[in-house]
Amino acid sequence: MEDQDQEEGSSDESMPWQIVKDDVVVIWWRPIHRKNIFEKGDIVFPRGVGGRDAIIDGGGATLVPVAALYQYLSLEIEIEVEVAIEMAVKLPDELIVQIISFYQQKRFFVAVQLPDELIVEIISFLPAKSLLRWRSVSKSWLNLMSSTKFKLMHLHNFNQLNPRYFVRRLDFYASEEWFRVHFDNEAFTSDRGTQIEFPLDDIRVNICFRILDGLCGESLAVMHSSDLYGLKSGSTYTYTEVAMGKPLRLRNNGDMIVELEKGDTVMKKH
């Protein structure tokens, strides 16, 4: 309950509010003197996950799914919103506090588990960055993500959705080599929203690779967004930031395969 601040008074100073946004009903518990925004000390019961959107700037308010309230009170999950509001009005502060700690102790979880097939399908469309961040979601999830089947599926699904090219440019005048990532569209815009000259001038040699990446093989070759692996135009970076200790395999439309090892320099002086 560290979210409760000292302004939270006795129960007659608190009252539940109800707001409706985008068809999402949010039951909102706050001290009476507050303005119409959520802040620290408020307790918000969004109806389902969708409620999150309505209160995304919760300003430190404690969010508790209404389902947690039902479950705590051993009620059927499918309860009318009006009943829930009526119930919330009547609940004493101590009970609200108990429900929150009940929820936070994770003795609460949402009813039905989703089939693995569905989880795999959903996360195969996600960038590797999200997946890496979520590796510790659960053990079974890490197992799913580590399987070869999933890696191939991810490679196919994610890349189909986000076709990009890896551009290697050799500048003979400056004796420099550049690497950038560009979207596979007419504007050929780069991941950072910058543009390079296109068509490319003949002094510079450019090689485009379609990026075949993802969680392929054992290498966590993360090539989705340039800020991930430090490919910003005009700067010098090395692959130590990106290659995750394993070779990075890039392939163009032919069969040329370039493998970059950890420590390879992205921008080389000749």
* Residues 63-82 interacting with another protein (rule: CB under 8 A): 65
Q: Which is nearer to another protein, 35 or 139 (CB)?
A: 139
Beta strand pairing call for 248-251 and 176-183: unpaired
Binder among 237, 241, 265, 267 for another protein (CB under 8 A): 241
Q: Distance (Å, rounded) from C-alpha 213 to C-alpha 260?
A: 13
Binder among 34, 40, 52, 169 for another protein (CB under 8 A): 52
Residue 200: CB minimum distance to another protein, A: 31
The alpha-helical segments, DSSP class H, found in the chain are 51-54, 66-72, 81-90, 93-104, 116-123, 128-133, 139-146, 148-161, 226-229
Among the residue ranges 83-91, 103-111, 182-190, 254-262, the one whose residues contact another protein (CB under 8 A): 103-111
Q: Can residue 127 be called a binding residue for another protein (CB under 8 A)?
A: yes
Binder among 9, 21, 50, 195 for another protein (CB under 8 A): 50
With CA atoms as reference, report the closest residue to 16 among 110, 89, 71, 80: 89
Q: Can residue 84 be called a binding residue for another protein (CB under 8 A)?
A: no
Q: Distance (Å, rounded) from C-alpha 227 to C-alpha 191?
A: 8
Residue 168: CB minimum distance to another protein, A: 23
What is the per-residue burial (b if ≥16 Cβ within 10 Å, else e) of 46-56?
bbeeebeebbe
Q: Which is nearer to another protein, 139 or 269 (CB)?
A: 139
Q: Is 33 exposed, middle or buried (0-12, 13-18, 19+ CB in 10 A)?
A: exposed
Binder among 75, 212, 228, 258 for another protein (CB under 8 A): 228
Residue 9: CB minimum distance to another protein, A: 30
With CA atoms as reference, report the closest residue to 171 among 97, 125, 233, 108: 233
Binding mask 107-126 for another protein (x = CB under 8 A): --xxxxxxx-xxx-xxxxxx
Q: What is the DSSP letter of 238?
A: B
Binding residues for another protein, rule: CB under 8 A, are 48-50, 52, 65, 106, 109-115, 117-119, 121-127, 129-130, 132-141, 161, 228, 241
